[in-house]
Structure formats: C-alpha cells, structure tokens
A and B are shown apart, each in its own frame.
Chain A
Amino acid sequence: MKNKKFKIKALFSDSRYVLLLSLILLSLAVLYKTVKFNTTVEKKIKLTLSQQSEAIKDLHDERKTVLTKVFFVDEVDFPLSSHAFTHVHLKSLSSYQFKDNFFVDLETNLKVIKEGVYEFTVCSDDGFSLIMGDKVVIESTGPREMQCSTANIAFPVTGTYPLRIQYFQGLGLMGLKATYKNEKDKRVYIVGEDSPFMTYSLPN
C-alpha cells in the first residue's frame, strides 16, 4: 500500500505524466462538449418508425413494413432536415435506414386539466393525421412541402384522452412539429410539453 502511494506521488512529480494527464483531461472535456452521451428525455410519447418496402404516396397506403424501430420522446418536434429524421433533443433517429419512405406513429395520453377550446397545429413534410380517440381531427394525407394545418378541438370536461399522430416521409426533406394553445392564452406549447392546461403521459 505504502509502495503504491509512493508510485502515485512519483507519477505526479514527473512532468511528462502531468502533461499527458492534462491533455487527457482536456480531451475528455472536449468530448463532453461535442458528443452527447446517453441523451435521455422524459418518456411521454411512444414513437414507432416503420420502414416501408416501397414508395409511399399517401398516408393511407397499405403498410408493407420491413423494419420497425421504437423510441420514446418528450415532444413532437422533428426539425426539417434533408438527411435524417431528427428529434430536437434526441438528435438523429435515422441510421442508414429511415431516410425515405417510412411511417411514424406517435402515441400519447393527453390529460386535460382545464376544459375549453384548444387550437392544435401540425406542420409537416410530408403527410400526417392527428387522431383524438377514434376521431380524425386534422389530416393532410398526401405528400407536401413543410406546411401547417390547424384545427380547434373543444374539451368540455377535464379527463384523459388518447392522442395519436401518424406521419409519413416520402422523398426529400422531412420534418414534423405539433403545437397546441388554449383559446384564452397566448402561449403556444409543443405537443408533449406540459402546461397549466394539459399534461402528457405514456399510454399503458
């Protein structure tokens, strides 16, 4: 033990090791700043990516899935990108697959805390469908450039509602973002983001 202590002391008295150690520490600091290790987000929304075996022309095309991948995300915010389906916090969800012709299914439970009318907006490239319970609230099923669609939904009573968003990426740019706001409030929240009006949780 005494011998070991002596060796550590000797290590720090040798300027070469101090230099090497400093550079290793600097490298670790740089890696910490540039690489996101184990990025985790709160699991509120289940996301399923389904790679289609053929070109998708419409959201309601028959699904011919060759590969699926499941993620859990906190918000429906996938910025427009040309090369990968990218979540705002999790980074790229695509590897060499899921570049073109894939479906995305998002499922969450929405708990309304304050009843009232809410404005939901979905911006997407390409098509999407927003479904509350079994009812389609807004949709645009064909391919399109990044565009936004809006609809008002009335929640007369508080309670929990299942919310699903279906989306597909055909070719080219890809991106999806869904937001909501209470009719009496100015602030816009991203679907998945808790607010004084509603909260989100993972479906059972």
Chain B
Amino acid sequence: MKKPRSVWAYLRSVISKKAVLGSIILLAACFTYLRSYDEPKSLFYDELYYVAVAQKYIKHYMQFEVHPPLGKLLIALGEVVIHPNKGIEISDDTVKTGRINGDLPPQFTPSGYRFFPVIFSTLSALIIFLIFCSLSGNSLLAFFFSLMYVFDNALIVNFRGALIDGTLLFFTLLSILYFLHLYNKVSKLGPWNYFLLGCLASLAICTKIVGTILFLLFVFLYFKEPKLNFKKMLSRAAFYSLGLFIIFFSVYYIHVALGSRVLPDNKGSASPEYLTLVSNKGIYNPLNMYVPIRDNMLDMKRSHSNMAKVDMCNPLEIASHPVGWPLGIKSINMLRESSTASDAVKYLTIQGNPVNWLIGLLSVILSICLVVSKTVFKTPIKNKKLYNYILIFTALYVGYMVAIIWSGTQRILYMHLYFIPLVFSFVLAFLMFSYLFEKYIVKKDKIILVSLLLFASLILYNYVYFSPFTYYKALTYEQCMNRKWFSFWNTYCEK
C-alpha cells in the first residue's frame, strides 16, 4: 500500500527553497523600504526639484532638465496613478523655477510621487537575490548576501524618496540579470537578445546618464560569443543600438509631448523652432523630434558644465570627492527638525550601514588583487566561471569609479552617486566569498554557516542602530554623536 504523503512533503515538492528565500527577501525589503514610505511628509533634498519637475509634467509644461527624463516621468506617473493630492492646488509659482518655492499646502502628501521609486527599490532586493542565484546557484548564500541591500541604511533613505537613484538601480540590476542569463547560454544567442539588452540598458541611461556604464555589458557579451563572423557582429551591434534608440526615443517623445504649454517667462533653452513646434502642436509628431531632443541635449550639456565645483574649505559643504565615498565621506543630512518640547532632533541622513560598506570595500580590494595577480603574475585560478564574473564586476566598479572621479574634476558631486558601485561591491563580496570558500560551501561546512549567521546578525544590528537616521526618528545630541563613529563621516548633529 502506498504511504500517504504529508502536507509538509507536498509543500516541499511544489515550493522550491529558492522561492521561499526569495519571498523572505522581498518581504524584508517591504519592511525596510516600503513601510510608511510617505514619512516624512515634508519634501527633502532633491525631492524639492523632482516633485517640481513631476508637477510640470502633470500640468503639461515644457521643461528642460539636468538628468534624462525617465526617472522623473515615473515620479509624475505615481502621482497621477495614486493621486493622493486630489483637490490640492499647487500653483505655477511654486514650481516655475524648477524647484519647489514656498510652502506647499498643509494637506500635501508626497506618497504618490514616491510610489514608483520605492516600489522599484523594493523589487531591486528580489532582483539582487536572483542575480546572486544566477551567479552561483546557491540560494542560501544568495539569501545572506541579499541582506546587504535589504538592510543598508544609506540606500533605504535615498530610495524611499521621490528621487531617481532607486529607479536607476532597478533598471541597472534588471540589465545585469538579463546579461547574466545571456552570458550563461552564450552559444544560443541571437540578435533579439542584444536588442532586449539594449532596451534595458537604455532604460537605465534614460533615468540617469551614469547608466552608460552598462555599455560594458554589451562588450563582455560580444567578446564572449565564439566565432562571430563580421555580418553577425554587425547585426548584433545594430540590434543593440536599435534597442537603445527605441527606448531613448520613446522616453524623449513622452517628455516632449507632455510639454504642450510654456510657463510665462520660462522658455528655458528652447530654440525658436522648438517653441514653434509647441505652439502649432508639432511636438506630437514623432518626425519632429529632432529639434526638441537636440535642445534637451544641449541644455543638459550646458547644465553639467555650469555646475559648481566642490568647496572642500567650506565646513557646511555636503558635496564630496568620489575618492572618499567608499569610506563613507561624507554623509548627507537631508532633513532635520528640532522640537521645542525636547532637546532631541529628528534627522534624515544618508548614513550607510558600516558593515556593508566595509565588507564591500574589502571585497573590491580583494577582487582587484585577484585580477592583477592573475593578469600580471599568471596566478592559477580555482574556478574560471567565478573568476570571469569577478572580472566583470570589478571592471564595472572600477570603470564607474574612474569615470566619476574624472567627472569630479569637472563638477560638484554627492555621495549618493556611489550607490550603483556600492551595489557592485556587494556583488563582489558575494563572488569573492563564493570563490574563496567554494569547497566548504559545497560541503555545507558548519563554520561557514556560523560565519554567515554572524555576518547577517552584524548587518541587522547595525541597521537597527543607525535606523533613527533612516526613518526620521529623534535623537539627542549625544545619541547622534555616538553614531558619528569617525569624524571624516561628517555626520551632522545639532546641539
């Protein structure tokens, strides 16, 4: 007689370990990123700019922006979809300078504007988990290392706002996930795979120009493919470019088409031809897109070149040089509020989880050492597949940092630009761990498991310790100063 299966055995047969661990990561990300994301009610940091831009989209005003439009279009879309401010009038004067001027109505809530950035940031946790699974196939290890993203205080603060870095990271991770999928089945690739990779990369680039680092993925895939004849090479490059172009064009078409009105005395960088297109409704014709896109590109170039440079001699300067970012130089206080009833002050501060940042930095150093020793000294490698991944992510990290350090000589930069390479450093931490302890991981060694549990506890402990900075909770001066572990962090505490 056949023995009946228990419910537990049945569930185990239909639900994989990967699905369970992925769900836990997603739930944890909902707790850290999504929970009460409408707090604080006041706009902070660049939200003052992005909400003004979104408001202009909603009111159909033509505008020029320093960043590509996709991130801000999504911020506006959240407000349109959720419309929590229905019936609240935001005047043109409040938004006309490209930054919120004056007070918003007291009933105003930012939940609509923050909706898509926070949803994308939450989903990024799941994508990181899937990337780790794709890199090693070990879902338990992927689970532990995904905690670095889920419980990083700096990422949470920034990504819960109506800002564009969370959206950028989401599209970046999505591109990487698809790239890894293609990289693992490289012998069966066709031009349409390159087309889709181009589309995904373009989504990131259309959010923020630093997304151009994803061109490297195309290069890695291109040279991974065996025996490509010239015709095939050309078709792949063409399809990739087509993907890039279609998304780029569509995003800018929406951006231009939403600007059917001109704010009085606010023509920005619009050329007379562009203004004529606006007045005669020519902006809706895709064939007329050349002039608006050209004007937008020129304005973007001008805005970047006109930006101030970092003033290191100013003690109140919140901008910083990219070289210091991996060490947490400098934290940014985005919002604070004193209370008359207590000497405690609420802070919203970009302050990373030091355990994550330290392990990320050590992993980058180790990865560079490994790549250099293999390249220069021909050191034998244990696992070629893992080594190739390490090489790719080291190149992404170093490539991004070199580009941004160069950019730092041209214009002012802020620490939140480090978030993309920070996540690359988390991936490198995962890869270096897998590479160094491969044989023990396979054996499910207990010391390794204890180490992973200790690692997870450290991340959680530090997340909780720094969470008042993350969720706008009140701290006394002394409590705030206790969290300023190093003077070079420049953590702001109000006396």
Contacts and interface: CB of A to CB of B under 8 A. Distances in A.
Given A20-B450, A26-B355, A81-B342, A88 B478 contact: yes
B355 A16 contact: no
Interface string B372-395: 000000000000000000000000
B462 A30 contact: yes
Interface stretch (B146-154, B303-311, B453-461): B453-461
B485 interface: yes
A41 interface: no
Contact of B451 (A20, A82, A173): A20
Given A80-B342, A81-B342, A82-B342, A16 B437 contact: yes
B461 A80 contact: no
B447 A16 contact: yes
A15 B436 contact: yes
A17 B355 CA distance: 19
Nearest to A14: B447
A26 B437 contact: no
B454 A79 contact: no
A23 B445 CA distance: 16
B440 interface: yes
B85 interface: no
Nearest to B457: A27
A80 B343 contact: yes
A173 B478 contact: no
B465 interface: yes
A172 B74 CA distance: 45
B443 to A, nearest CB: 10
Given A16-B447, A88-B478, A23 B455 contact: yes
Interface residues of B, number: 27
Interface in B412-459: 436-437, 440, 445, 447-448, 450-451, 454-455, 457-458
Contacts of B447: 16-17, 19-20
Contact of B355 (A19, A30, A88): A30
Nearest to B446: A16
User: Mostly helix, strand, loop or mixed at chain A's interface?
Assistant: helix
Contacts of A175: 343
A110 to B, nearest CB: 26
A59 to B, nearest CB: 22
A137 interface: no
A95 to B, nearest CB: 19
B341 interface: yes
Given A15-B437, A16-B445, A30-B355, A23 B451 contact: yes
Contacts of B354: 30
A38 interface: no
Contacts of A187: none
B266 to A, nearest CB: 47
Interface in A23-68: 23-24, 26-27, 30, 33-34
A81 B339 CA distance: 12
B462 to A, nearest CB: 6
Nearest to B464: A34
A41 B437 CA distance: 47
Contact of A27 (B440, B445, B454, B478): B454
Contact of A173 (B342, B440, B445): B342
A30 B358 CA distance: 12
A23 B476 contact: no
B458 A30 contact: yes
Interface in A124-180: 173, 175
A177 to B, nearest CB: 10
A16 B465 contact: no
A24 B355 CA distance: 12
Contacts of A16: 437, 440, 445, 447-448, 451
A51 B454 CA distance: 41
B459 to A, nearest CB: 10
Contacts of B476: 79, 81, 86
B484 to A, nearest CB: 10
A166 B477 CA distance: 26
Interface string B319-356: 00000000000000000000001111000000000110
A87 B342 CA distance: 15
Given A26-B458, A30-B461, A88-B478, A19 B451 contact: yes
A79 B450 contact: no
Given A16-B437, A79-B343, A80-B342, A23 B478 contact: no
Given A33-B485, A34-B461, A175-B343, 4 more contacts: A34-B465, A80-B341, A81-B476, A173-B342
3 smallest beta-carbon distances between A and B, as pairs? A16-B447, A23-B454, A80-B343
Interface of B: 341-344, 354-355, 358, 436-437, 440, 445, 447-448, 450-451, 454-455, 457-458, 461-462, 465, 476-478, 482, 485
24 contacts: A15-B437, A16-B440, A16-B445, A16-B448, A19-B436, A19-B448, A19-B451, A20-B450, A23-B451, A23-B455, A23-B458, A27-B454, A27-B457, A30-B354, A30-B355, A33-B485, A34-B465, A79-B343, A79-B478, A80-B343, A81-B342, A81-B344, A86-B476, A173-B342
